[in-house]
Structure 1
Amino acid sequence: MSQSPPPPPPPGGYGSPPPAGGYGAPPPPPVGVPRPGELVDRFVARLIDGVILGVVYGIVYSIFSAIFLRGFGYSTGEWLLFWIFASIVISVVWVGYFAYLESARGATIGKQVMKLKVVGPDGVANPTLEQAARRNVWLAANLLNIIPIIGAVLSFLASVAAVVMIAVGINGDPQRRQAWHDRFAGGTQVLKVG
């Protein structure tokens, strides 16, 4: 009398491999289908944009230095005016760069290089200028530099706190990869489109 082998286990049962996205996670979308942008891609995009804006910062710093700080004999008032004007202009340039490009093109230069796109709450169209500005309002922490003596420290700490909260938020939301700044903007999302 021969015995037949036991029947195979049911799909998804004991002995079958876990789903592609990890245990219990939905499988990732096929290549070419937009999916939430990962933290590393978004970091590299911000780094590229930071280098571009760093050049702009250097130019603005040089211009305002030439205007307000002529030589080494500048007064405290001239130094204060320099920091007020430079902080305002730099903050406007940073927020404006991200808000304009994200609302007009759906991506900054860094995001274009990394094949990322910002979409509005509907998940399809670019965010409005207001949504993009709200999404990037944390970049205006540079305005704290206008406070004498402790402004630079406050600006740095506020920026680091915002970046850490964004990174934790992105990693804490595996489905949509949205952080507090996306929710503050009404539900914007960064998608990997390539």
Structure 2
Amino acid sequence: MSYTPPPPPDPSAYGVPQTGSRPAELLDRFVARLIDGVLLAVVWVILGVMVVGSVLLGGVNSYVAGAATTIILVALQMGYFIYLESTRGQTLGKMVMKLRVLGATGGNPTVEESARRNIWMALSILGVVPVIGLLSVPAQIVAVIMIAVTINGDTVARLGWHDKFAGTRVIKVG
């Protein structure tokens, strides 16, 4: 008597569209995020140079300048992802990697869905709080690791915890 394994689960039961697309793999998602990170880093460096200049030349309090910079950078980063995901379904990195974020209805995510999906990036804001700010970087590292583990652990739909929290999914198109 031979053993026949059960058939794999129906991907449509997990909200995976059946139109020639498939859930995006962890590596593709990582590369897309890396591309977006490099683009945002250029903005961060330019803003950082302006802040350092204002501290050195203008006598601006370094804590105030650092706190304001952190708040602006978090707003820019969140705005970048929320705007592009909710209007196009893709950031520039996702465009390069041929990935698309889908909301609960199957179209672009709403602003709220995209904000929920990317809220973990706002952990940087902890950096403005003395002492507690030291938790900012470890908290973000834990969030990223948990995203990777949950994407990798979901072999059917490839949903990270942030996707489940937001009701979104990321697919490979084309």
Task: Judge same fold: TM > 0.5, yes or no.
Answer: yes
Query: Contact 1:68–1:81 (CA<8 Å) still a contact in 2?
Result: no
* Aligned pairs for 1:119-158 within 5 A: 119-122=102-105, 124-148=106-130, 151=133, 153-158=134-139
Q: Partners in 1 of 2:138 and 2:168 — Cα distance?
A: 25
**C-alpha distance in 2 between matches for 1:42 and 1:182:** 12
Give the one of 149, 152, 163 matched to 1:168.
149
Letter in 2 for 1:184: F
Percent identity of equivalent pairs: 49
Alpha-carbon distance in 2 for matches of 1:25, 1:70: 64
- Tell me the secondary structure at the aligned position of residue 69 of structure 1: helix
Instruction: Give the superposition deviation at 1:142.
Output: 1.1
Determine which of 32, 37, 50 is the counterpart of 1:45: 32
Helix, strand or coil at the partner of 2:101: strand
Tell me the TM-score normalised to structure 2 length. 0.87
Structure 2 CA distance for aligned equivalents of residues 126 and 169 of structure 1: 22
SS in 1 for 2:39: helix
* CA distance 1:58–1:155, change in 2 (3 Å): same
Q: Displacement, 1:144? A: 1.3
AA matched with 1:143: I
Q: Does 1:191 align with 2:174?
A: no
- Structure 1-normalised TM-score? 0.78
Q: Choose the corresponding residue for 2:41, options 54, 58, 73.
A: 54
CA distance in 2, matches of 1:166, 1:43: 10
- Is the aligned partner of 1:181 residue 2:159? no
Q: How well do the aligned residues superpose, as a CA RMSD in angstroms?
A: 2.4
Matched, 1:64 2:51: yes
1:40 and 1:86 mapped to 2: Cα distance? 31
What is the rounded CA distance, in whole Å, between the counterparts of 2:104 and 2:56 in structure 1?
46
Instruction: Render the CA deviation track for 1:113-163: whole Å, top value 9, x for unaligned.
Output: 0000000012x2000111101110111111111123562x31110110100
For structure 1, which runs of at least 5 residues remain unmatched after alignment? 1-12
More helix by share: 2
Equivalent in the alignment of 1:92: 75
CA distance in 2, matches of 1:150, 1:65: 23
Q: Tell whether the 8 Å contact from 1:48 to 1:110 is kept in structure 2 after alignment.
A: yes
Q: After TM superposition, give the deviation of residue 165 of structure 1 in Å.
A: 0.6
The structural deviation recorded for 1:91 is 0.3
Instruction: Kindly provide the amino acid, as one letter, of the partner of residue 156 in structure 1.
Output: V
Aligned length: 168
Q: Alignment partner of 1:106: what SS?
A: coil
